[in-house]
Structure 1
Amino acid sequence: MHNICCEAPAAVKENVMPLSMLEPGSRGIVKNFVMNCEDHESCRFVRRLKEIGLFHGARFEVLKNDGTGQLSVSCEGTTLALGRGMADKINVEVLNGSVMSGNVFGKFCRRFGIKCRP
């Protein structure tokens, strides 16, 4: 059973990654949500994200991301606070900016040749 709230995964690209990996000042576009479509809680979560403005194709800018706690994101004119777990489930396409280094994502950056902050 496929629920309408879940979206098909984006094609794998070098510049598509979880929102939680981006540094402050980075900009991008929401591509999809990583969810189990059979789980009703996941569907409610995705619906809630869409209600607050995080939907497929929405443009955003990361305002705060210290690599451990919540993130602040400006999306379509609204500032949102997202927990790290939420941000891990939002795949985005990076338009400009860089990926955080000095954390568990360094290997990912090197593997895909993505510019990480020194």
Structure 2
Amino acid sequence: MYLRCFIQGKPRSWVQWLPWAEFSHNTSYHTNSKITPFKALYGRDTPQVVKVQQGQTEVSAVEEQLMERDAILDDLKGHLLQAQQRMKKGADKFRKDVAFAEGEWVYLKLQPYRN
């Protein structure tokens, strides 16, 4: 999913963005573990990616590459947000709010837990 979001519109450049997809995954907060995979592995917070400003570097090729990186990372955030919203919308189709009163009988379907 990360890689798909990175290369949307530029399918031939997927190899170039593979390390950034990995970085994005490893630095994303996971609700199950309550930390990022990076922190789980290294025991410290992830290094921050600083956005480059126009004229910040003396080498134009480096500045161009950093500007392209920032644009791709911004696109990725937008695409991932859209993907999350689509998944939530699909999951919400099968959810409904049900309120039960105390003492009300309900049917529970229990399945044995298997390892």
TM-score, length of structure 2 as denominator length: 0.27
Using CA pairs under 8 Å that are at least 6 residues apart, name the structure with larger relative contact order, 1 or 2: 1
TM-score, length of structure 1 as denominator length: 0.27
**Structure having the larger proportion of residues in strand:** 1
**Structure having the larger proportion of residues in helix:** 2
Bigger Rg, structure 1 or 2:
2
